[in-house]
Chain A
């Protein structure tokens, strides 16, 4: 009943924040949001050079495990970024990142790698550095 005294703008802001909160809770939770397809796209886009075979699946599995083992706030932040990154593809090209071709995926990765927003660059940098470390460790015989 209290809401009737609020301005339309305040009511809209409240509704929007509740909607966003629900979306975040729904989509970013580990049970709901499978990050594997997005991480896999990042691994493919960042590590594939067209000449060397890359252990994409096992590298992805290790990276997902590492994200799940991050401290809570970092894990939440990384999942949020992956979620936004996936849907950013719809905004730019009409398809989510995980459903795009590797060429389009590489374009999206390039855009975020050069983003003025630090966390966006950090997200790509994390997958590049940790991805290459994991992939080469696996190539050199380590069990994923």
Chain B
């Protein structure tokens, strides 16, 4: 058995864990940062590839929240977490959402003005930018459609650094905060899974798990759990904290394919970055990466239909509608197997909202010159004019909806409202004296925008408070 000791054990190296490790290590704290996945370079596999799915996503990207319907989701599982493979879109949190969180969950010292300096820090230290040479033709079509409909749209910045050519460099955690943490003295242990926090009453005294196939025991003074909205509550529940893992929120997403008379699909541009802003936070409309393998997944129909459509794949692209989900779910531990058991009940209002979103999306695409918009239902005829767009409004039902989600939150909400929040206003776990949470679990609800910037800013805020109190 391996035995390690440290002052502060941080479990999980995604955005929350990386920010926590860097700031604490730079403040002189003896930090051990453990990560279940491997330590890989940011370009160890091509973006959007099969290899990347296997290397950097939990279970090769095949994870699902059970329910009717199930919602597939992805979790990062490597040093740097999801920041190593996601789109890296940066969207500042919406002021009204922050204020609602502060009021409804009684979060102390929290609001748009309180969070602003932390967001500024994130932007300065990690860096966000727009592609200097414009965006993809599919994004241009979406922007054109929004413009013609009179809707606001925006090119979303990314955690990215664009150089002289090509796709630029991802500003992932393994490229930014983790090297800072290590340079400041933090120890990084990849391929290490912590199964349980060891306690004496309310105090954590250590943790146990496995590292590279060998049992490991860690002695520590405090534990900070940053393993994401699924693995964080799983670890805490395994450690006896049964009040967490409720209230899971996510952003259900539905995708459709549209065809244009000219080329819109240029995979070399990478992730399309235009979103329609008009209906946020309830509704986000955007475009997905649409290389042929990705495009084919969303073309409904038999093999002949798929192949026929792919003959002119350059004229087709995948678009999405994402709603700020009103449903909730839970995270538990599966008996016998020991994995996280995620369940989610999609709210009936979300089907209505997704239907409205699909109708709006189709209107925008036709306004931008689309010749066909495919229905998300197998066997349904493609729409060929804007007048048919309202056919999409009531198309989704629990039986036929194929839903996915990228952002999961709210399984250990922060706030002083003890009946709703598993942690206090700064992430300290209720029922424990020296355990904190500092990741997407803390977000009280779905923020309605890409959350990485918000998660990093909240992590920065919380660590600042802990250091002030030290």
Contact = CB atoms under 8 A, between A and B. Distances in A.
Nearest to A142: B50
Interface stretch (B8-16, B175-183, B332-340): B332-340
Contact of B402 (A74, A113, A125, A142): A125
Contacts of A76: 337
A84 B62 CA distance: 21
A139 to B, nearest CB: 8
Contacts of A134: 50, 293
Contacts of A132: 293, 296-297, 303, 306
A71 B293 contact: no
A136 B302 CA distance: 15
A73 B339 contact: yes
A32 interface: no
Contacts of A72: 334, 336-339
Interface string B50-70: 110010000110111000111
B49 interface: yes
Interface in A35-75: 46-52, 54, 62, 65-66, 69-74
Contact of A71 (B59, B70, B291, B402): B59
Interface string A114-144: 0000100010010001101110110010111
Interface residues of A, number: 33
A66 to B, nearest CB: 5
Classify the interface of chain A: helix, strand, loop or mixed: helix
Contact of A118 (B68, B293, B378): B68
Contacts of A143: 51
A71 B64 CA distance: 9
Given A71-B59, A73-B337, A125-B402, A137 B49 contact: yes
Interface in B356-378: 378
Nearest to A116: B399
Nearest to A45: B303
A71 B334 contact: yes
Nearest to A134: B50
A47 to B, nearest CB: 5
B304 interface: yes
Interface in B332-359: 334, 336-341
Contacts of A46: 302-303
Contacts of B59: 69-71, 74
Contacts of A66: 60, 62
Contacts of A122: 70
Contacts of A73: 334, 337, 339, 341
B317 to A, nearest CB: 16
B290 to A, nearest CB: 12
Given A118-B399, A122-B70, A51 B307 contact: yes
12 contacts: A48-B303, A49-B304, A62-B50, A65-B60, A71-B340, A72-B339, A132-B296, A136-B292, A136-B310, A137-B50, A137-B293, A142-B51
Given A72-B336, A136-B293, 16 more contacts: A47-B303, A49-B306, A50-B304, A65-B54, A66-B62, A70-B59, A70-B62, A70-B63, A71-B340, A76-B337, A118-B69, A130-B62, A132-B293, A132-B306, A136-B310, A137-B50
4 closest A-B pairs by CB: A72-B337, A136-B293, A49-B303, A71-B339
